[in-house]
Amino acid sequence: MIRARLSVLLVCACSVLLATSQTALAQRNEPTELVDQQHCMFCHTSDAPFLAPSFHQIADRYRGVPNATAMLEHKLRMGGRAHWGDMAMPLPAERGGPLSAQDAHTLIEWVMSQ
């Protein structure tokens, strides 16, 4: 009897572990320093549209669109016309400082994983 209970407990513990490792795989870790430095969360949230589309909405819109990540990285660094409304995103200089291509890549990979 005790044995049976123990194995049920073990199975539960394992599935919890499995579930957490799967979410970790699906969603990239937030590049917190970059996100803070560029104030991304000043206008965006992960899942609720606020001053700007949420990162979930953005990821949904561009998932499966060819070259979307290259376009978004370029836009994040150089700006471009608005795709969601009238308000375009401010340039890096206005957000907190210059943004390298590598950093833009890291940020867009993270946004697209949400």
Shortest gap between Cβ of 70 and ligand HEC (angstroms)? 12
* Bind-site residues for heme c: 40, 44
The rounded distance, in Å, linking the Cα atoms of 110 and 106 is 6
- DSSP character at residue 21: H
Between 3 and 81, CB nearer to ligand HEC: 81
Q: Rounded to the nearest whole angstrom, what is the least distance from the CB of residue 90 to ligand HEC in the complex?
A: 5
Please, what is the minimum distance in Å from the beta carbon of residue 73 to ligand HEC? 9
CB 38 within 8 A of CB 106: no
Binding residues for ligand HEC (CB under 6 A): 38-40, 42-44, 51-53, 58, 72, 75-76, 82-85, 87-90, 95, 107, 111
Name every residue whose Cβ is closer than 8 Å to that of residue 28 and which is 6 or more positions away in sequence: 109, 110, 113
Instruction: Compute CA 50 distance to the chain's CA centroid, rounded to the nearest angstrom.
Output: 15
Binding site listing:
40, 44
